Chains A and B, each alone.
Chain A
Amino acid sequence: MASIVVKDLTLTYGSVNVLDKLNIDVAEGEFIVLLGPSGCGKSTLLNCIAGLLDITDGQIWIKGKNVTWEEPKDRGIGMVFQSYALYPQMSVRGNLSFGLKNAGLPRDEIDKRIARAAKILQIEPLLDRKPAALSGGQRQRVAIGRALVRDVDVFLFDEPLSNLDAKLRSELRVEIKRLHANLENTMVYVTHDQIEALTLADRIAVMRGGVIQQLADPKTIYNKPANLFVAGFIGSPAMTMLPGRVENGAGEATFVVGAERIPLAGYDGGGTGATGRDAILGVRPEHVAIRTGDAPGVPATVDIDEPMGSDSLVWLRLPNGQTISVRTSAEHGFKPGQPVRLAADISKASLFDRETEQRL
């Protein structure tokens, strides 16, 4: 059974369609990440699901119930915000119990739930402190606890880790993943950070301009991006895009870029259907090998070397002037200015139509 169903959701501000006929089904216990650049409508979608924004058209179902017109508190959701949004004048205990008191729960039940949440999140020693006396990480734990005590099936996260420093962020990321594994709740998580998306999600919805570009598991999103936008947005450093043309050469499709011809035999589907089209070939830095000597491949010149500790990122210049980044081992020994040859693993590359920007 689907936990959250969004049907034809449309949200209009004046004449601007912020969300346009958006559909998404979230399965029970699934971890969905809404990913996209700022202003793509991901937080807006989350607020619509939470009931904090009135929608213009469409429906929202949670756990088989049409909640389109329900108040946030009646939707069976817990929400965690980017700025933590803790009530400053209340202690941690007060923050956790506020929603439960509003719901009219008996005292012992409230205490029981707070104790359980505090134990899970390891915030027991902090219960009597004020939010101002907590560190950023502790505050976000309390904010998660506030969703936890509501004992709901759906958790909504609105960029919960964006305000934390890098170290805390990776720590809490693991904790959220563990939390999901233990609780098996449905979670909808909004972020602009692709690492968070790739590490946490069961499925990622990449959004742009109020439209979902691709909804798939992280592996598919990374390896088989549905269009040029997804390909360029996911991956750091970004995929290198080579504009060229697909031609028929000796019975198989060949990608022609400048004077170079790259056979597409290894490409998913062979690329034969795309013959004669202007296309863009996208290759990720780790799918290109640098070779020296007379090995076959596209000629290039080493430009800059960026050592990153565990591996190294080498930027090279192609004959047509374009730069390409290649991830290689830390001890590669390439010098700037050195002429080399590049061989891309075509089976892992992506081919896009230059006009429609869709994957071929």
Chain B
Amino acid sequence: MSVETLTQAQFHEHARQWETTTLKTEVLLACGAVVLSILGLAGILPNDLAAITVIALGVVLGCQGTNVVLRYTELLYEAGATPNPRAMEVGRGITAEFLGGLAGVVLGDLGAVTNCANDTDVSSRDHLWRDAPIDE
């Protein structure tokens, strides 16, 4: 098995491609979240759309964290700098973004599952009600 080593130029090209991908994903998901929340406010499946929007915004936060990591790594490399208080500040923000995004995705999933469970519960109750004998 051969191991290929990346040159700095290849690494930066790779990082730039990742940055473009995360930026496009971020914009698409944020647009989707805005549209879905407006649809929810208009009264179209508000609970389900809120859960989907929460998941989408969680992914957006994760993408933003990745994007900041890539950009800040590039800046640090260009400057040849050692860690400083400003780097610590941005690092804390990145951690908060990742944690917030992860928590949002998990909570959105839980909300969607709860909505589905409630819908299933209601529909099964309706089914039982429909099948029940009339004189009972």
Answer whether A and B are interacting partners: no
